[in-house]
A and B are shown apart, each in its own frame.
Chain A
Amino acid sequence: MNAKRAFYAFLSLLVPGLGQMAAGAVARGIYILLGTATLWGLTVFTAAQRARFPEQVYGLSFAVLTRLFLAALVTLAVLRLVYEAVARRLFPTDDEFARRVANVLFVVVAVVVFSLSGPMMLQWAVPPGASRSLYTTVLLIMAVVLAGIWWWAVLDAWALAEAKARAEPSPSWNGFIALVLVGTLVLGTRIVGIDLPKAIREYKETGRILGDIVWPWRAAFDYEATELRATALVQAPCPEGETGPPVNEPKEGEPWVVVTPTCGDLSVRDTKGKLQYGTLLHIRGGGFVPGKVVKIKWENPIGNEFTPRGLGPTEIEVGPDGTFESELYIPDVVIPSFAEGPQIHKLHAVQPGALRFTGKLSREMKLALQAMLESIMIGLMATFAGMLFAIPMSFLAARNLTHSLRTSPQGLVGGVFGLVLGGALGWLLARQVAAWLGGLDKAPVTVALVGFVLVLGGAVLGFRLLGAALDRLSRRLPGWANAAIRYGGFALIGAALGWPLGLGYAHGILGIAWDPAEVAAAAPDFARLGAGLGALAWLYLAYRWGDQGVVPIGHWIYTATRTVLNVVRSIEPLIWGLVGVIWVGLGPFAGFIALTIHTIAALGKLYSEAIESIHPGPIEAIQSTGANRLQTIMFAVLPQVLPHFTAFSLYRWDINVRMSTVIGLVGGGGIGFLLIQWIRQVQYEHAGLAVWLIAITVSTLDFVSATIRKRIV
């Protein structure tokens, strides 16, 4: 028996999971094998991922991983043997608690051993020169995890065989799951690029920006600041023989600053980031308020003013006679590449004076408020427009309203012919009306609206009239006539559907303008093939429905509407925003279109679910008074769903406003547009204003809509 167990364990040592399969637990074996293989593959892939030539590094990282893995496997085996020997002696084997303590101790010891021996293992496994491009620490951890899994599989095969022999339940998965989880998390941090040291090292820069964003309110208003300011010109760099601009003279009665020399070299940061000092400037000034501080500022040739850091004092106290003296190295200024050669810089000595609050909003605050209003309106309008389309769609997407729409196959034939005929008549009429109105260019909205209503109305009317007529007629006709209508009509419908499909396919290949006649002339086979296949498919349907005679059009409509709604809804508004921008260009209109499309789909689904959950009783009651479909909807359905519709719409408005604040990121207008502009221009304080306005608006709306909703439902 023991020999058999050892054999299974050995099989799992060769290939993890093989032993389990041999012992009869095939699924378990497959899971283990797949889990191990996936982890191996992911590790190799991750290690090679960021290298410059991944296809070469795959092999390398695989080799390194294998070596590390073997080392870990052996180390674990040795540790395990030692553990068995020591634990046997120290802990009584029958004590459950003691066994757990021993297990924890084993893990702790293993971690210590691997962290100590890790560098050695890496030394051995990683060929010189390759270490940089491979995530060696990750490889090491993963090798240990994989070795752990390997050993677990071996021990599991043994324990499993034992359990099978005694007809006990299979041993637990816990060890395997824990190891796979650790491996996945380690790989996950690598793939996501989580780098805690970097986050900690570089928080300072963020801190400053965050500060601006968290409290940007000083940028919301205009101020009048008075200050004493004196300026000196300095030329840099200073080629041989040049002297730079003339040295200032001290003046009486106003602030002055004298810098010597007025020509020098910039400080430079070398490749290691160390500063090589440039020319030392001597600064003298006067005419300032005694006892207060003067600030030194540098202005580069393109007009950016900043405080030089680490190059000399920048805040100097003015002496009792109003003068001061200081020194400063010429800063390291990054000069734009188009401006090579000597440039004139400015040194300012500035003493802040009084600051007055004007009570006026700053230009940026006004802009932000305007854009916020635009966002709210985009959200509001999109909600209304969305509701307008979502309400009729939701009736089509409600199972309990559509399922009763059925017809006979003959009725369907009549309906489809009526649809085409009515649609065509509507189209002709619409063209007439359009010509009379002066064409699409003269009155686009009216013409489009009239066309839409006429074509749709004609199609629906034709469908209903001819469908009902043929349905009634078919009851009086003998069986063979009905069969003729069915087969003939269906063949025609199929051909009519297949023909354009075939043409469309050919059109895609040909790449010529969409003109059915032209495409048909160029690729007659495709048209014929499409029509033939379509007719065949529909002939089959005619045969299928023949005897039973019920066509569930309601169910078709329901399924089609639901599918469209689901697809449209699963595409994020930001992506619809891109579509909107392509369609009507940058600006709030594009955002409105994006949000409207998404709102129609989202509200359509919510509304239709509200409709599906109403009490059917009132519908029956209204129907039994002889009411028609529309009356039933108005009297039995609408009163029941209206509160839900209102609640959903409010909820959607609140979502839409939130969405409209980001739709600007893709050019859809509103405050998002302003926000992304300010962020790109590094104006974090102004961006902070936008963020604050968004937060205030969204949370207010959130609260308001929640309160109203609570009252309604």
Chain B
Amino acid sequence: MLRVEHLTKVYDTGTVALKDVSFTVEDGEFLIIIGLSGSGKSTLLRSINRLIEPTEGRIVWNDIDITALDEAGLRRVRREIGFVFQEFNLVERLPVLTNVLAGRLGYVNPWWSLFYYFPPQDQRRALDALAQVGLAEKAHNRASALSGGQKQRVGIARALVQNPKMLLADEPVASLDPVLAHSIMGYLERLNQERGITILCSLHYLDLVQRYATRVIGLRDGRLVYEGTGEDIRNMTDEEFKQIYGEEAQRLGG
């Protein structure tokens, strides 16, 4: 169970990106975060594994206070939380396989890994993960040679080999076309249903939210302004949706 308590983030520039945000996520949920551009979705997701240091508040996950961890402790928690980025964030010059293997960095012997050596069972695991996202034959290509959708699948495979208990996805489909968006969301749903991985995902499109969410929270100017179940949001009309989301809201199908 993930508990976010009174989370506040003030950037060095003085921008208040999150204001006293509190909510809980049960294990196995597919939580979708909605909100306008600039409402603080990325800041929230990045605070959870402390890619961004929260200014105030606590994040407690399975009784571990992530906000109080030292570096070593933080690394141990991070390796169990996958992160999927809107911009994929692959290391373009490295082969696809190495990008996926990077997901094992928190587990393997750090000294060996400095020479790009990974034990055979990790390599097998990485190839398996690539096969699961349908990219086994691209393992030895450079990451820069992939299309956007393929890159995002590699990103998911990288998160997968972490053997995560929780997956954070920051607008994972925002730079992909509708068909690809559904296929990527489909992968996430399978992970959620088959492996019971808790998923926190920020999204822009109403129909995707309605299709995949088991719970939804809405942010506006850094404040939590909406909480509802998947059921609630499926019964919602476009007009209601636009009320929390603003005029930019749209459906993927158009």
List residues of A whose CB falls within 8 A of some B CB. Answer: 468, 471-472, 475, 615, 617-618, 620-628, 630-631, 634-636, 639-640, 642-643
Contact status B76-A639, CB under 8 Å: no
The 6 lowest CB-CB distance pairs between A and B, nearest first, are: A626-B106, A626-B79, A617-B89, A621-B89, A627-B105, A626-B78
Contact status B51-A624, CB under 8 Å: yes
Judge whether B146 is part of the interface by a CB distance below 8 angstroms.
Answer: no
Q: What are 26 contact pairs spanning A and B, CB under 8 A?
A: A471-B70, A620-B51, A620-B89, A621-B102, A621-B158, A622-B91, A622-B102, A623-B51, A625-B78, A625-B79, A625-B102, A625-B158, A626-B75, A626-B79, A626-B80, A626-B105, A627-B75, A628-B71, A628-B110, A634-B113, A634-B116, A635-B91, A635-B98, A639-B92, A640-B91, A640-B92
Judge whether B202 is part of the interface by a CB distance below 8 angstroms.
Answer: no
Judge whether B8 is part of the interface by a CB distance below 8 angstroms.
Answer: no
Q: Map CB proximity to A onto B59-76 as digits: 1 under 8 Å, 0 otherwise.
A: 000000000101100011
Nearest B-chain residue to A642, judged by Cβ: B93
Contact status A472-B70, CB under 8 Å: yes
Instruction: Write the nearest CB–CB distance from B194 to chain A, whole angstroms.
Output: 22
On chain B, the residues within 8 Å of A639 by CB distance are 91-94
Contact status B91-A618, CB under 8 Å: yes
Name B81's contact: one of A624, A634, A643 (CB within 8 Å).
A624
List residues of B whose CB falls within 8 A of some A CB. Answer: 46, 49, 51, 68, 70-71, 75-83, 85, 87-94, 98, 102-107, 110, 113-114, 116, 155, 158, 162
Known: A624-B83, A625-B158. A635 touches B94 (CB 8 A): yes
On chain B, the residues within 8 Å of A472 by CB distance are 70
Determine the distance from Cα of A687 to Cα of B79 in the docked complex, in whole angstroms.
Answer: 66
On chain B, the residues within 8 Å of A623 by CB distance are 51, 78
- Starting from the known contacts A625-B79, A634-B114, 5 additional A-B residue pairs (CB-CB under 8 Å) come to A618-B90, A621-B158, A625-B103, A626-B106, A626-B107
On chain A, the residues within 8 Å of B83 by CB distance are 620-621, 624-625
Determine the distance from Cα of A628 to Cα of B106 in the docked complex, in whole angstroms.
Answer: 8
Determine the distance from Cα of A635 to Cα of B106 in the docked complex, in whole angstroms.
Answer: 12
Determine the distance from Cα of A392 to Cα of B92 in the docked complex, in whole angstroms.
Answer: 23
Determine the distance from Cα of A631 to Cα of B81 in the docked complex, in whole angstroms.
Answer: 18
On chain B, the residues within 8 Å of A643 by CB distance are 93
Determine the distance from Cα of A217 to Cα of B162 in the docked complex, in whole angstroms.
Answer: 69
Contact status A640-B93, CB under 8 Å: yes
On chain B, the residues within 8 Å of A618 by CB distance are 89-92
On chain B, the residues within 8 Å of A627 by CB distance are 75, 102, 105-106
Contact status A626-B162, CB under 8 Å: yes
On chain B, the residues within 8 Å of A624 by CB distance are 49, 51, 78, 81-83
Contact status A622-B105, CB under 8 Å: yes
For A471, A625, A640, the residue with the greatest tally of chain B CB atoms inside 10 Å of its CB is: A625
Contact status B93-A468, CB under 8 Å: no
Determine the distance from Cα of A472 to Cα of B113 in the docked complex, in whole angstroms.
Answer: 28
Nearest B-chain residue to A616, judged by Cβ: B89
Determine the distance from Cα of A621 to Cα of B106 in the docked complex, in whole angstroms.
Answer: 12
Determine the distance from Cα of A615 to Cα of B87 in the docked complex, in whole angstroms.
Answer: 11
On chain B, the residues within 8 Å of A630 by CB distance are 110, 114
On chain B, the residues within 8 Å of A468 by CB distance are 70-71
Nearest B-chain residue to A626, judged by Cβ: B106
Instruction: Write the nearest CB–CB distance from B236 to chain A, whole angstroms.
Output: 32
Contact status B93-A628, CB under 8 Å: no
Nearest B-chain residue to A627, judged by Cβ: B105
Contact status A625-B89, CB under 8 Å: no
Name A631's contact: one of B94, B98, B114 (CB within 8 Å).
B114
Instruction: Write the nearest CB–CB distance from B252 to chain A, whole angstroms.
Output: 24
The SS class assigned to the A binding surface is helix
Name B102's contact: one of A471, A615, A635, A642 (CB within 8 Å).
A635
Determine the distance from Cα of A617 to Cα of B46 in the docked complex, in whole angstroms.
Answer: 12
On chain A, the residues within 8 Å of B88 by CB distance are 617
Instruction: Write the nearest CB–CB distance from A622 to chain B, whole angstroms.
Output: 6
Known: A471-B70, A620-B85, A631-B113. A625 touches B106 (CB 8 A): yes
Known: A625-B105, A626-B76, A626-B79. A631 touches B110 (CB 8 A): yes
Contact status A636-B91, CB under 8 Å: yes
On chain A, the residues within 8 Å of B82 by CB distance are 624
Instruction: Write the nearest CB–CB distance from A513 to chain B, whole angstroms.
Output: 45
Instruction: Write the nearest CB–CB distance from B212 to chain A, whole angstroms.
Output: 22
Determine the distance from Cα of A624 to Cα of B105 in the docked complex, in whole angstroms.
Answer: 10
Determine the distance from Cα of A623 to Cα of B79 in the docked complex, in whole angstroms.
Answer: 9
For A471, A627, A640, the residue with the greatest tally of chain B CB atoms inside 10 Å of its CB is: A627
Determine the distance from Cα of A639 to Cα of B92 in the docked complex, in whole angstroms.
Answer: 8
Determine the distance from Cα of A620 to Cα of B85 in the docked complex, in whole angstroms.
Answer: 10
Instruction: Write the nearest CB–CB distance from A620 to chain B, whole angstroms.
Output: 5
On chain B, the residues within 8 Å of A628 by CB distance are 71, 75, 110
On chain A, the residues within 8 Å of B76 by CB distance are 626
Instruction: Write the nearest CB–CB distance from B246 to chain A, whole angstroms.
Output: 27
On chain A, the residues within 8 Å of B103 by CB distance are 625
Nearest A-chain residue to B77, judged by Cβ: A626
Determine the distance from Cα of A624 to Cα of B89 in the docked complex, in whole angstroms.
Answer: 11
On chain B, the residues within 8 Å of A625 by CB distance are 78-79, 83, 102-106, 158, 162
Nearest A-chain residue to B87, judged by Cβ: A617
On chain B, the residues within 8 Å of A640 by CB distance are 91-93
Determine the distance from Cα of A310 to Cα of B94 in the docked complex, in whole angstroms.
Answer: 79
Determine the distance from Cα of A615 to Cα of B51 in the docked complex, in whole angstroms.
Answer: 15
Determine the distance from Cα of A475 to Cα of B70 in the docked complex, in whole angstroms.
Answer: 11
On chain B, the residues within 8 Å of A642 by CB distance are 93
Determine the distance from Cα of A611 to Cα of B98 in the docked complex, in whole angstroms.
Answer: 21
On chain A, the residues within 8 Å of B105 by CB distance are 622, 625-627, 631, 635
Determine the distance from Cα of A277 to Cα of B126 in the docked complex, in whole angstroms.
Answer: 99
Determine the distance from Cα of A634 to Cα of B112 in the docked complex, in whole angstroms.
Answer: 12
Nearest A-chain residue to B83, judged by Cβ: A624
Nearest B-chain residue to A635, judged by Cβ: B102
Nearest A-chain residue to B105, judged by Cβ: A627
Nearest A-chain residue to B94, judged by Cβ: A639
On chain A, the residues within 8 Å of B94 by CB distance are 635, 639
Name B85's contact: one of A617, A631, A634 (CB within 8 Å).
A617
Instruction: Write the nearest CB–CB distance from A335 to chain B, whole angstroms.
Output: 74
On chain A, the residues within 8 Å of B114 by CB distance are 630-631, 634
Determine the distance from Cα of A635 to Cα of B99 in the docked complex, in whole angstroms.
Answer: 9
Determine the distance from Cα of A620 to Cα of B76 in the docked complex, in whole angstroms.
Answer: 16
On chain A, the residues within 8 Å of B162 by CB distance are 625-626
Determine the distance from Cα of A622 to Cα of B158 in the docked complex, in whole angstroms.
Answer: 10
For B76, B90, B104, B113, the residue with the greatest tally of chain A CB atoms inside 10 Å of its CB is: B113
On chain B, the residues within 8 Å of A636 by CB distance are 91
Instruction: Write the nearest CB–CB distance from B155 to chain A, whole angstroms.
Output: 8
Instruction: Write the nearest CB–CB distance from B151 to chain A, whole angstroms.
Output: 11
Instruction: Write the nearest CB–CB distance from A421 to chain B, whole angstroms.
Output: 21
Instruction: Write the nearest CB–CB distance from B233 to chain A, whole angstroms.
Output: 28
Nearest B-chain residue to A621, judged by Cβ: B89
On chain A, the residues within 8 Å of B113 by CB distance are 631, 634
Determine the distance from Cα of A127 to Cα of B142 in the docked complex, in whole angstroms.
Answer: 85
Nearest B-chain residue to A634, judged by Cβ: B114
Determine the distance from Cα of A471 to Cα of B103 in the docked complex, in whole angstroms.
Answer: 29
Determine the distance from Cα of A639 to Cα of B110 in the docked complex, in whole angstroms.
Answer: 18
Instruction: Write the nearest CB–CB distance from A642 to chain B, whole angstroms.
Output: 7
On chain B, the residues within 8 Å of A621 by CB distance are 83, 85, 89-91, 102, 155, 158
For A620, A624, A640, A643, the residue with the greatest tally of chain B CB atoms inside 10 Å of its CB is: A624
Nearest B-chain residue to A406, judged by Cβ: B53
Determine the distance from Cα of A271 to Cα of B85 in the docked complex, in whole angstroms.
Answer: 90
Determine the distance from Cα of A120 to Cα of B131 in the docked complex, in whole angstroms.
Answer: 100
Instruction: Write the nearest CB–CB distance from B201 to chain A, whole angstroms.
Output: 15
Instruction: Write the nearest CB–CB distance from B114 to chain A, whole angstroms.
Output: 5
Determine the distance from Cα of A622 to Cα of B89 in the docked complex, in whole angstroms.
Answer: 9
On chain B, the residues within 8 Å of A626 by CB distance are 75-80, 105-107, 162
Nearest B-chain residue to A617, judged by Cβ: B89
Nearest A-chain residue to B116, judged by Cβ: A634
Determine the distance from Cα of A626 to Cα of B46 in the docked complex, in whole angstroms.
Answer: 14
Instruction: Write the nearest CB–CB distance from B94 to chain A, whole angstroms.
Output: 5
On chain B, the residues within 8 Å of A634 by CB distance are 113-114, 116
On chain A, the residues within 8 Å of B46 by CB distance are 620
